[in-house]
Amino acid sequence: METRRITVLSAGLGVPSSSRLLADQLAASAQRQLSASGYAVTVDVVELRDLAVDIANNFVTGYAAPRLAEAIAGVEASDGIIAVSPVFSASYSGLFKSFIDVLDPKSLAGKAVLLGATAGTDRHQMVLDFAMRPLFTYLRTRIAATAVFAGPQDWGNTDDGGSPLSVRIDRASGEFARLLEGAQPQQKPAALESLPFEQLLAGISGGH
């Protein structure tokens, strides 16, 4: 059984935060749909709030503290990323962008990405298409066609899978899951086997 590793980036500042809540629901839906397709799934959640000081220090010193280095390595090793940010001043949060900035841009190329955002008013939902999507397009990722915005009214309906938010989550996660099926651009080829010199020489000789 093939395994898909998903890293969830939550840039929420509160405890609990609506960004984390949305991120968890997106991850659960994606995991469920990938499992139904025969994949084993591991999900790692990175709360950027806990790394804020390390991220700031990284800009000044150029050194990633152990927790930040671990988070960066996890993103680089993942097959897909679920990225959710609260909206500040009509864009993603500064904390979210700062974390993206400490990553090696080339390490994200080809990764599947599912975008989400939360805010106190629906007027901010365009941040997904006018801020987050261009950012990840620049980084050459493969972005699920549907992104998910959640406002205050979306958390009022707690029925089992019937709310408009749940429908959007399942649709977006399904698109994300399909991006993770099959061969992945970021998957590394099997390591080349190192053969003894005598065997290599015998192979060359046998070709003549």
Q: What is the pLDDT of residue 132?
A: 97
User: Tokens for 11?
Assistant: 């840039």
Euclidean distance between CA atoms 56 and 156, whole angstroms: 36
Identify any residues that bridge with 44 across adjacent strands, giving them in sequence order.
Answer: 7
Using pLDDT thresholds of 50, 70 and 90, give the confidence band for residue 5: very high
Fill in the amino acid letter for 28.
A
- Residue bearing tokens 């939550």: 10
**pLDDT tens per residue across span 115-159:** 999 998 877 889 999 999 999 999 999 999 999 999 988 876 555
Euclidean distance between CA atoms 43 and 30, whole angstroms: 10
Q: Which of 130, 84, 80 is nearest to 108 (CA)?
A: 80
For the segment 10-25, the average pLDDT, to the nearest whole number, is: 93
What CATH number is associated with residue 9?
3.40.50.360
Angle at 136 between CA 135 and CA 138, to 5 degrees: 70
User: Tokens for 195?
Assistant: 């053969």
Angle at 125 between CA 171 and CA 53, to 5 degrees: 100
Q: What is the pLDDT of residue 46?
A: 98
Domain membership of residue 177 as a residue range: 3-206
Percent of the chain with pLDDT over 70: 86
194 versus 13: the higher-pLDDT residue is 13
Euclidean distance between CA atoms 130 and 124, whole angstroms: 10
Q: What is the pLDDT of residue 90?
A: 86
User: Residues of 83-117 as b/e, b for ≥16 C-beta within 10 angstroms?
Assistant: bbbbbbeebbbebbebbbebeeeebbeebbbbbbb
For the segment 26-42, the average pLDDT, to the nearest whole number, is: 97
Using pLDDT thresholds of 50, 70 and 90, give the confidence band for residue 202: low
Q: How many domains does the chain have?
A: 1
- Residue bearing tokens 């864009």: 91
pLDDT for residue 165 is more than 70:
yes
For the segment 150-170, the average pLDDT, to the nearest whole number, is: 79
pLDDT for residue 188 is more than 60:
no
Q: How much is the mean pLDDT over the chain?
A: 89
Q: What is the pLDDT of residue 77?
A: 95
- The answer to whether 72 and 101 have CB atoms below 8 angstroms apart is no
**pLDDT tens per residue across span 62-117:** 999 999 999 999 999 999 999 999 999 889 999 999 999 999 989 999 999 999 99
